[in-house]
Amino acid sequence: MSVIQALTGELSKLPGVGTKTALRLVYHLMKGSRDDARRLAAAIREVADRIRPCELCGNFSEAELCEVCSNPRRDGSILCVVEEAYEVGAIERTGEFRGRYHVLGGHLSPLDGIGPDELRIAPLLERTRGDEGASEVILATSSGVEGEATAVYLEGLLRPLGVRVTRLARGIPVGSDLEYVDGSTLAEALAGRREM
Protein backbone atom coordinates (compact mmCIF):
# COMPACT_ATOMS: atom_id res chain seq x y z
CA MET A 1 0.00 0.00 0.00
CA SER A 2 1.39 3.40 -0.95
CA VAL A 3 1.60 6.31 1.50
CA ILE A 4 -1.06 8.10 -0.56
CA GLN A 5 -3.42 5.14 -0.18
CA ALA A 6 -2.62 4.89 3.54
CA LEU A 7 -3.35 8.59 4.18
CA THR A 8 -6.50 8.43 2.04
CA GLY A 9 -7.67 5.45 4.07
CA GLU A 10 -7.05 7.24 7.37
CA LEU A 11 -8.78 10.46 6.24
CA SER A 12 -11.79 8.52 4.93
CA LYS A 13 -12.40 7.24 8.48
CA LEU A 14 -13.36 10.78 9.53
CA PRO A 15 -17.10 11.49 9.75
CA GLY A 16 -18.50 12.95 6.54
CA VAL A 17 -15.33 12.20 4.57
CA GLY A 18 -15.65 9.57 1.87
CA THR A 19 -12.88 8.08 -0.22
CA LYS A 20 -13.15 10.71 -2.98
CA THR A 21 -13.02 13.61 -0.54
CA ALA A 22 -10.14 12.00 1.32
CA LEU A 23 -8.20 11.63 -1.91
CA ARG A 24 -8.86 15.28 -2.80
CA LEU A 25 -7.54 16.28 0.64
CA VAL A 26 -4.40 14.20 0.14
CA TYR A 27 -3.74 15.81 -3.24
CA HIS A 28 -4.38 19.25 -1.76
CA LEU A 29 -1.79 18.54 0.94
CA MET A 30 0.71 17.33 -1.66
CA LYS A 31 0.19 20.46 -3.81
CA GLY A 32 0.78 22.74 -0.81
CA SER A 33 4.07 23.43 0.88
CA ARG A 34 5.77 20.75 2.93
CA ASP A 35 5.74 23.15 5.88
CA ASP A 36 1.93 23.35 5.74
CA ALA A 37 1.68 19.55 5.77
CA ARG A 38 4.16 19.32 8.66
CA ARG A 39 2.21 21.92 10.68
CA LEU A 40 -0.99 19.93 10.14
CA ALA A 41 0.76 16.72 11.21
CA ALA A 42 2.19 18.46 14.29
CA ALA A 43 -1.24 19.85 15.24
CA ILE A 44 -2.81 16.38 14.95
CA ARG A 45 0.02 14.91 17.04
CA GLU A 46 -0.49 17.60 19.73
CA VAL A 47 -4.19 16.82 19.94
CA ALA A 48 -3.47 13.11 20.25
CA ASP A 49 -0.85 13.68 22.95
CA ARG A 50 -2.42 16.45 25.03
CA ILE A 51 -6.21 16.26 24.82
CA ARG A 52 -8.17 13.94 27.10
CA PRO A 53 -11.68 13.72 28.53
CA CYS A 54 -12.47 16.01 31.46
CA GLU A 55 -12.59 13.89 34.60
CA LEU A 56 -15.93 15.37 35.64
CA CYS A 57 -18.03 15.95 32.53
CA GLY A 58 -16.28 14.04 29.73
CA ASN A 59 -15.71 17.10 27.51
CA PHE A 60 -12.30 17.33 25.85
CA SER A 61 -9.64 19.23 27.76
CA GLU A 62 -5.89 19.68 28.15
CA ALA A 63 -6.24 19.71 31.95
CA GLU A 64 -7.91 17.30 34.39
CA LEU A 65 -10.99 19.55 34.37
CA CYS A 66 -12.25 21.41 31.31
CA GLU A 67 -12.74 25.18 31.26
CA VAL A 68 -16.45 24.89 32.11
CA CYS A 69 -16.01 22.50 35.06
CA SER A 70 -13.12 24.52 36.49
CA ASN A 71 -15.03 27.82 36.24
CA PRO A 72 -16.45 28.65 39.72
CA ARG A 73 -19.00 31.02 38.16
CA ARG A 74 -20.79 28.16 36.37
CA ASP A 75 -23.94 26.83 38.06
CA GLY A 76 -23.30 23.22 39.06
CA SER A 77 -26.94 22.70 40.04
CA ILE A 78 -27.94 22.55 36.35
CA LEU A 79 -26.47 19.91 34.05
CA CYS A 80 -26.96 19.83 30.31
CA VAL A 81 -26.55 16.28 28.99
CA VAL A 82 -25.24 15.95 25.44
CA GLU A 83 -24.32 12.91 23.40
CA GLU A 84 -20.92 14.06 22.11
CA ALA A 85 -18.30 16.57 23.23
CA TYR A 86 -18.58 18.73 20.11
CA GLU A 87 -22.19 19.54 21.10
CA VAL A 88 -20.91 21.45 24.14
CA GLY A 89 -19.42 24.02 21.77
CA ALA A 90 -22.72 24.46 19.95
CA ILE A 91 -24.53 25.29 23.20
CA GLU A 92 -21.67 27.47 24.46
CA ARG A 93 -21.79 29.58 21.27
CA THR A 94 -25.33 30.69 22.21
CA GLY A 95 -23.97 32.44 25.31
CA GLU A 96 -27.21 31.55 27.11
CA PHE A 97 -26.35 28.52 29.23
CA ARG A 98 -24.53 29.13 32.53
CA GLY A 99 -24.70 25.62 33.98
CA ARG A 100 -22.37 22.68 33.46
CA TYR A 101 -22.33 19.78 31.04
CA HIS A 102 -22.26 16.01 31.00
CA VAL A 103 -21.09 14.18 27.88
CA LEU A 104 -22.57 10.68 27.47
CA GLY A 105 -20.21 9.58 24.72
CA GLY A 106 -23.01 8.54 22.36
CA HIS A 107 -26.60 7.34 22.55
CA LEU A 108 -28.34 4.05 23.18
CA SER A 109 -28.27 1.92 20.06
CA PRO A 110 -28.91 -1.78 20.71
CA LEU A 111 -28.41 -2.65 17.03
CA ASP A 112 -24.87 -1.25 17.25
CA GLY A 113 -24.22 -2.93 20.60
CA ILE A 114 -24.37 0.34 22.56
CA GLY A 115 -26.24 -0.14 25.81
CA PRO A 116 -26.25 1.81 29.08
CA ASP A 117 -22.91 0.33 30.17
CA GLU A 118 -21.15 1.79 27.11
CA LEU A 119 -22.26 5.34 27.97
CA ARG A 120 -21.26 7.65 30.83
CA ILE A 121 -24.56 7.17 32.69
CA ALA A 122 -23.22 6.10 36.11
CA PRO A 123 -21.13 9.31 36.46
CA LEU A 124 -24.24 11.33 35.50
CA LEU A 125 -26.29 9.71 38.26
CA GLU A 126 -23.44 10.35 40.71
CA ARG A 127 -23.47 14.04 39.81
CA THR A 128 -27.13 14.31 40.90
CA ARG A 129 -26.66 12.82 44.38
CA GLY A 130 -26.00 14.58 47.68
CA ASP A 131 -26.26 18.20 48.74
CA GLU A 132 -23.85 19.34 46.02
CA GLY A 133 -25.66 17.36 43.31
CA ALA A 134 -27.49 18.85 40.35
CA SER A 135 -31.14 19.67 40.89
CA GLU A 136 -32.01 19.97 37.17
CA VAL A 137 -30.84 17.90 34.23
CA ILE A 138 -31.50 19.20 30.72
CA LEU A 139 -31.57 16.35 28.22
CA ALA A 140 -30.08 17.72 24.99
CA THR A 141 -29.88 14.43 23.12
CA SER A 142 -30.63 14.27 19.40
CA SER A 143 -34.18 14.18 18.11
CA GLY A 144 -33.66 10.90 16.25
CA VAL A 145 -34.97 7.56 17.48
CA GLU A 146 -31.80 6.72 19.43
CA GLY A 147 -31.59 10.18 21.01
CA GLU A 148 -35.22 10.05 22.06
CA ALA A 149 -34.79 6.53 23.49
CA THR A 150 -31.73 7.72 25.41
CA ALA A 151 -33.66 10.70 26.82
CA VAL A 152 -36.58 8.50 27.92
CA TYR A 153 -34.18 6.01 29.53
CA LEU A 154 -32.34 8.77 31.42
CA GLU A 155 -35.59 10.35 32.55
CA GLY A 156 -36.61 7.01 34.05
CA LEU A 157 -33.38 6.90 36.04
CA LEU A 158 -33.32 10.55 37.12
CA ARG A 159 -36.93 11.29 38.13
CA PRO A 160 -36.94 8.78 41.05
CA LEU A 161 -33.87 10.64 42.41
CA GLY A 162 -35.96 13.80 42.77
CA VAL A 163 -34.15 15.60 39.97
CA ARG A 164 -36.03 17.99 37.70
CA VAL A 165 -35.68 16.59 34.17
CA THR A 166 -36.22 18.90 31.21
CA ARG A 167 -35.78 18.51 27.46
CA LEU A 168 -34.64 21.04 24.90
CA ALA A 169 -37.59 22.57 23.06
CA ARG A 170 -38.21 21.37 19.53
CA GLY A 171 -39.93 23.22 16.76
CA ILE A 172 -39.82 25.57 13.84
CA PRO A 173 -36.49 27.27 13.09
CA VAL A 174 -36.47 31.07 13.26
CA GLY A 175 -37.17 32.60 9.86
CA SER A 176 -38.84 29.50 8.41
CA ASP A 177 -42.02 29.46 6.38
CA LEU A 178 -44.58 26.90 7.56
CA GLU A 179 -44.97 25.73 3.98
CA TYR A 180 -41.41 24.34 4.01
CA VAL A 181 -41.34 22.83 7.52
CA ASP A 182 -41.55 19.03 7.62
CA GLY A 183 -44.51 17.36 9.34
CA SER A 184 -42.67 15.96 12.35
CA THR A 185 -41.05 19.31 13.16
CA LEU A 186 -44.42 21.03 12.86
CA ALA A 187 -46.01 18.39 15.11
CA GLU A 188 -43.25 18.94 17.73
CA ALA A 189 -43.84 22.70 17.56
CA LEU A 190 -47.57 22.27 18.09
CA ALA A 191 -47.06 19.88 21.00
CA GLY A 192 -44.52 22.20 22.63
CA ARG A 193 -46.50 25.42 22.20
CA ARG A 194 -46.49 27.88 25.11
CA GLU A 195 -48.44 30.85 26.39
CA MET A 196 -47.49 34.26 24.92
Same fold, 3-50 and 74-167: no
Q: Where in the chain are the domains?
A: 3-50, 74-167
Q: Model confidence over 90-99: pLDDT tens digits?
A: 999 989 999 9
| Average pLDDT value for residue range 101-117 | 95
Q: What is the pLDDT of residue 171?
A: 79
Q: What is the pLDDT of residue 104?
A: 98
pTM for this one? Answer: 0.83
Query: What one-character DSSP code corresponds to residue 94?
Result: T
Exposure string of 90-105, with b = 16+ CB inside 10 Å and e = fewer, is ebeeeeebebbbbbbe
| Average pLDDT value for residue range 59-78 | 96
Q: What is the pLDDT of residue 129?
A: 87
Q: Model confidence over 15-30: pLDDT tens digits?
A: 999 999 999 999 999 9
| Average pLDDT value for residue range 123-146 | 90
Length of the chain: 196
Q: What is the pLDDT of residue 130?
A: 74
| Average pLDDT value for residue range 143-164 | 93
- Overall CATH class of domain 74-167: alpha beta
Q: What is the pLDDT of residue 196?
A: 64
144: pLDDT strictly greater than 90: no
What CATH architecture does domain 3-50 belong to? Orthogonal Bundle (1.10)
79 pairs with which residues across the strands? 100, 137
